[in-house]
Amino acid sequence: MIWAVFMAMTLAAAGALLLPFLRRPREEASRAAYDIEIYRDQLAEVERDAKRGLIDEMEARAARAEIGRRALAADSTGSTKAAPVAASPAMPMAVLALAVVAPLGAFVLYLDLGSPHLPGQPLAQRHADTQPNTRQDEALVEQLAERLKDRPDDAQGWMLLARSYGTLGRYDSAVAAWRNVLRLAPDSNDARGGLGEALIQAAGGTVTPEAIRLFEAVSRTDEREPRSRFYLGLARAQAGEARQALQAWVDLLAISPPDAPWLEGVRTQIRRVASEAKIDSATLAPSAAATSLAARDAAVPAGPQAEAIARLPPTQQQEMIRGMVESLAARLEAEPNDIEGWRRLGRARKVLGEKDKSIEAYAKAAALAPQRIEVLSDYAGALFETIAPGEKPPAPFVDVMRKILDVDPNHGDALWFVGAAEAEAGRRAAAVALWQRLLDQLPANTRERQEIQEQIDRLKRETQ
């Protein structure tokens, strides 16, 4: 049956190719006929221009006369029709022979070179065959390890080998490679952090004492380094010091850029540890040190000035930072179209505890960039922090979430909050539609998915 289908498809394709060659020759228009059609169009254009008043009657008559003269000259050169294009009598036969020979030739070649007896391969197996060859990757890594035996002082080579071992899940080997990197670059924070992370992976996720010492060394030389702050917080959590762990992660959120890729992972850990320890994470505020660092980063771009401020005593730092924030605010009043300046001012006001002024700055940035998700998210985040537990979100917050949803119809937070607003307003069908869209994005068997499903079911019962 399948061969009959293939044969019919082949004949249909060959027929479609043959059809133009087998038609009877048609007459083609001569050059004179084309010219006369052009002159007709020109006459029509003259009439339109005359009606619109673009040319007067005298100009119109002159144009008609000139076009008529050219049309008569063209017609006098010959007939407006050309003779039919003669086709070679052998052409249809040659084309027919080619249409028959080509499919038959392909069929014969397939019988000789193909494998019609093989069964169909499942899609999953074909997808697996396209994945990287792990065995080949391991061979390449081993070749690199062999080369490093002759070049034991190649720090870059050891770092590449360490990262490759980590990618392959060979964490003990990664630890050994990172030790060589640290031996060659004892002051490198990349080497300290890489070895610390490899030690944790080799220990099955436990932050070991050696890893703690490495990350503490990183923090002493780079107080902003996010990996060390995260793992030192995790070490506190594993030691049963939940509040200290949460404080470390809240400080990390405070000093991180608003679009940092690690933010969601840190928030997930905060929710997990806070839930297990029964601590309301909303009551935790960034420490004074983190607040000062975040305000300095927001008010003063990285550079010599920021480094000079960092060397001042804490009291002088605060005075200098507030002066820089006020200077930034004054500049923005004179240059109100600086979107990134308003974002910096909003963040600086936020970490200094000036929530109303932070909202005002973020609102101006959002007004300048209504299509930028990150700018709208800054504004929404500042508004959200004014909402007390159990309090209904204010209208400005919901309006911003609607704008986010207009830009990104699948934005998770916007789907939730706009859905809640629709449910509050009695528009249950709209709320269900939004929450169903959010539900489709969440992985199965999660608490968030279960809670949203319960809300959807409740609204559906209320509409019955």
pLDDT of the residue at 282? 73
Q: What is the CATH number of the domain that holds 181?
A: 1.25.40.10
pLDDT of the residue at 79? 45
Whether the CB-CB separation of 343 and 362 falls below 8 Å is answered with: yes
For the CA atoms of 328, 333, 334, 336, what is the dihedral angle to 10 degrees? 100
User: pLDDT by residue (tens digit) across 120-148?
Assistant: 545 444 444 444 456 667 788 888 888 88
From 290, 309, 326, the end of a domain falls on 290
Largest CA distance in the chain: 105
pLDDT of the residue at 124? 45
- The answer on 13 and 106 residing in a single domain is yes
What is the DSSP-derived secondary structure letter of residue 81? B
Instruction: Give strand pairing partners of 318.
Output: none
- The answer on 283 and 145 residing in a single domain is yes
Q: Say how far apart CA 32 and CA 34 lie, in whole Å.
A: 5
The answer to whether residue 96 is domain-embedded is yes
Q: Could you please report the per-residue DSSP string of 20-48?
A: HHHSPP---B-HHHHHHHHHHHHHHHHHH
Whether the CB-CB separation of 289 and 253 falls below 8 Å is answered with: no
Angle between helices 155-168 and 171-184 (to 10 degrees): 160
User: pLDDT by residue (tens digit) across 25-80?
Assistant: 554 445 555 565 666 666 677 676 666 655 666 566 666 666 655 655 555 554 44
Whether the CB-CB separation of 185 and 154 falls below 8 Å is answered with: no
No. of H helices and E strands in the chain? 23, 0
Residue at 211: amino acid letter: A
Question: Tokens 């030739």 identify what position?
Answer: 105
Q: Say how far apart CA 22 and CA 87 lie, in whole Å.
A: 10
**CA-atom Rg of the chain in angstroms:** 37
- The answer on 162 and 86 residing in a single domain is no
- The answer on 162 and 71 residing in a single domain is no
Q: Say how far apart CA 220 and CA 205 lie, in whole Å.
A: 23
- The answer on 35 and 148 residing in a single domain is no
The answer to whether residue 224 is domain-embedded is yes
Written as six digits, the tokens of 379 are 């504004």
The answer to whether residue 358 is domain-embedded is no
The answer to whether residue 265 is domain-embedded is yes
The answer to whether residue 345 is domain-embedded is no
Q: Say how far apart CA 156 and CA 180 lie, in whole Å.
A: 10
The answer to whether residue 258 is domain-embedded is yes
Q: Could you please report the per-residue DSSP string of 358-403?
A: HHHHHHHHHHH-TT-HHHHHHHHHHHHTTPPTTPPPPHHHHHHHHH
Instruction: Give strand pairing partners of 81.
Output: 29
| Phi and psi angles of residue 118, each rounded to the nearest 5 degrees, phi first | -75, 140
Whether the CB-CB separation of 251 and 229 falls below 8 Å is answered with: yes
pLDDT of the residue at 171? 93
The answer to whether residue 132 is domain-embedded is no
Q: Which domain holds residue 26?
A: 2-113
> H-helix or E-strand containing 77?
none
Written as six digits, the tokens of 362 are 């973020």
Q: Could you please report the per-residue DSSP string of 3-15?
A: HHHHHHHHHHHHH
- The answer on 149 and 281 residing in a single domain is yes
Q: Say how far apart CA 232 and CA 130 lie, in whole Å.
A: 40
- The answer on 151 and 96 residing in a single domain is no
What Å distances lie between residue 132 and 138, 306, 341, 358, CA to CA?
A: 11, 46, 45, 49
- The answer on 89 and 166 residing in a single domain is no
Whether the CB-CB separation of 233 and 248 falls below 8 Å is answered with: yes
- The answer on 285 and 167 residing in a single domain is yes
Q: How many domains does the chain have?
A: 2
For the chain, list residues with pLDDT below 50. 27-29, 78-87, 121, 123-132
pLDDT of the residue at 83? 46
Instruction: Give strand pairing partners of 156.
Output: none
Whether the CB-CB separation of 404 and 438 falls below 8 Å is answered with: no
Label residue 117 exposed, middle or buried (CB < 10 Å: 0-12, 13-18, 19+): exposed
CB-based contacts of 14, cutoff 8 Å, min separation 6: 99, 100, 102, 103
- The answer on 104 and 145 residing in a single domain is no
> H-helix or E-strand containing 425?
none
The answer to whether residue 201 is domain-embedded is yes
Q: Say how far apart CA 289 and CA 229 lie, in whole Å.
A: 13
pLDDT of the residue at 51? 64
From 241, 275, 290, the end of a domain falls on 290
Stated pTM of the model:
0.52
- The answer on 249 and 176 residing in a single domain is yes
Residue at 274: amino acid letter: A
- The answer on 162 and 23 residing in a single domain is no
